[in-house]
Chains A and B, each alone.
Chain A
Amino acid sequence: AQKITQTQPGMFVQEKEAVTLDCTYDTSDPSYGLFWYKQPSSGEMIFLIYQGSYDQQNATEGRYSLNFQKARKSANLVISASQLGDSAMYFCAMREGSTGGFKTIFGAGTRLFVKA
């Protein structure tokens, strides 16, 4: 069965520093996608970055990068040069391929606080 685990309920980071948000997953499907979404206090869900299970390189999107370690089943989000506007909830999510019916499940989230 699918499972997503985020073990950090809250994280603090100093402005302009980098921060890593942890995510581990479990699946038996060889084809899956891993996602990170940001939810600011306004409540909307914002897609940040995607990593496919067959991708050889780690995904990057601007200041966001995904540290994908397939053997360890981890997909950590790295935010470089943190900004005050990065303060938000961050959710790791996984979507299995055909055998999983393309359902997307979410972790419990990590609340990031960026300090000035």
Chain B
Amino acid sequence: NAGVTQTPKFRILKIGQSMTLQCTQDMNHNYMYWYRQDPGMGLKLIYYSVGAGITDKGEVPNGYNVSRSTTEDFPLRLELAAPSQTSVYFCASSYAGPEKLFFGSGTQLSVL
């Protein structure tokens, strides 16, 4: 049972480049989330989804886009990467209700 899988694990981007962080889960969870964690800080919610076709903004959505075409996949798109987007990105999923999150292993992104 793979759980939540994120790819890539590491990536270096140049300013202005774009990329997609992939996230897939095999637990049939309706809820999926993207967080970013800056060094020494807590996790900030970027976007989340309550089911296929439904997404909503979190605390820090600027500079990012998401889509949810299937229950399993929740990719995060960075357009025109900026140094301020250097961070570790975590994807997570959960059941509905006040349930715990299942996390991916994270993607360390540097924008230079």
Measured CA separation A108–B44 after assembly (Å): 9
Check A108 against B42 for contact (C-beta < 8 Å). yes
Check B98 against A52 for contact (C-beta < 8 Å). yes
Residues of B within 8 A of A68 (CB): none
Q: Contact residues of B with A, CB < 8 Å? A: 31, 33, 35, 41-45, 48, 50, 56, 58-59, 88, 90, 92, 94, 96-101, 103, 105-106
Which of B31, B35, B44, B88 is A102 in contact with, Cβ under 8 Å? B31
Q: Scan A41-72; emit 1 where CB is below 8 A from any B CB, else 0.
A: 00111010010110000000000000000000
New contact pairs (11) apart from A31-B98, A101-B48, CB-CB < 8 Å: A45-B90, A45-B92, A45-B101, A91-B42, A93-B101, A102-B98, A103-B33, A103-B58, A104-B92, A106-B35, A107-B42
Residues of B within 8 A of A44 (CB): 103, 105-106
Q: Scan A4-21; emit 1 where CB is below 8 A from any B CB, else 0.
A: 001000000000000000
Given A50-B100, A95-B99, A96-B98, does the pair A104, B42 have CB atoms closer than 8 Å?
no
| A40 in contact (CB, < 8 A) | no
Q: How many residues of A contact B (CB 8 A)?
A: 27
Check A105 against B100 for contact (C-beta < 8 Å). no
Residues of A within 8 A of B99 (CB): 33, 95, 102
Check A103 against B100 for contact (C-beta < 8 Å). no
Measured CA separation A107–B43 after assembly (Å): 8
Check B98 against A32 for contact (C-beta < 8 Å). yes
Check A102 against B90 for contact (C-beta < 8 Å). no
Measured CA separation A47–B94 after assembly (Å): 12
Q: Contact residues of A with B, CB < 8 Å? A: 6, 31-33, 35, 37, 43-45, 47, 50, 52-53, 91, 93, 95-97, 101-109
Chain A nearest CB from B11 CB (Å) reads 15
Check B45 against A104 for contact (C-beta < 8 Å). yes
Check B48 against A106 for contact (C-beta < 8 Å). no
Chain B nearest CB from A90 CB (Å) reads 11
A-B contact pairs, 6 of them (CB 8 A): A44-B106, A101-B50, A103-B33, A103-B48, A105-B45, A108-B41
